[in-house]
């Protein structure tokens, strides 16, 4: 039923798997589960899960401003950014 779930070391019903998925989703709202490995050891289970990558916009501090992109900057501010001294590590 769940293509991204792998159970090892024992048997587990779909209802039990759904419970663990619900638990992970409630602990990490807004995240999508990429894979879930459930290792059964007697009365104990070990959950090992991985989330789908989260996209993000890069924010940089340039000439005193926090920016993602320079597309909304005017000519003067673009020139200031172009002329700044870049330091290497």
pLDDT digits (tens, 9 = 90+) for 61-70: 766 777 777 7
Query: Could you tell me which residue, 43 or 81, shows the higher pLDDT?
Result: 43
Using CA atoms, how far apart are residues 59 and 57, in angstroms rounded to an integer? 6
Q: Is the pLDDT of residue 7 over 90?
A: yes
Q: Note the pTM of the prediction, 2 decimals.
A: 0.62
Task: Please give the backbone phi and psi of residue 36, each rounded to the nearest 5 degrees, phi first.
Answer: -140, 120
Q: What is the pLDDT of residue 63?
A: 64
pLDDT digits (tens, 9 = 90+) for 11-62: 999 999 999 999 999 999 999 999 999 999 999 999 999 999 988 877 777 6
Q: What is the pLDDT of residue 77?
A: 80
Give first-to-last CA distance, the chain, whole Å: 50
Using CA atoms, how far apart are residues 17 and 35, in angstroms rounded to an integer? 12
Both tokens assigned to 78: 């673009």
Q: What is the pLDDT of residue 62?
A: 67
What is the DSSP-derived secondary structure letter of residue 81? H
Query: Could you tell me which residue, 73 or 50, shows the higher pLDDT?
Result: 50
């Amino acid at each position: 039923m769940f293509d991204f779930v792998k159970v090892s070391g024992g048997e587990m019903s779909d209802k039990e798997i759904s419970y663990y998925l619900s638990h992970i989703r409630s602990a990490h709202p807004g995240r999508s589960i990429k894979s879930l490995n459930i290792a059964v050891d007697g009365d104990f289970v070990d959950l090992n899960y991985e989330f789908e990558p989260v996209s993000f916009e890069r924010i940089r501090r340039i000439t005193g401003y926090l920016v993602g992109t320079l597309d909304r900057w005017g000519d003067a501010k673009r020139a200031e950014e172009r002329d700044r001294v870049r330091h290497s590590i």
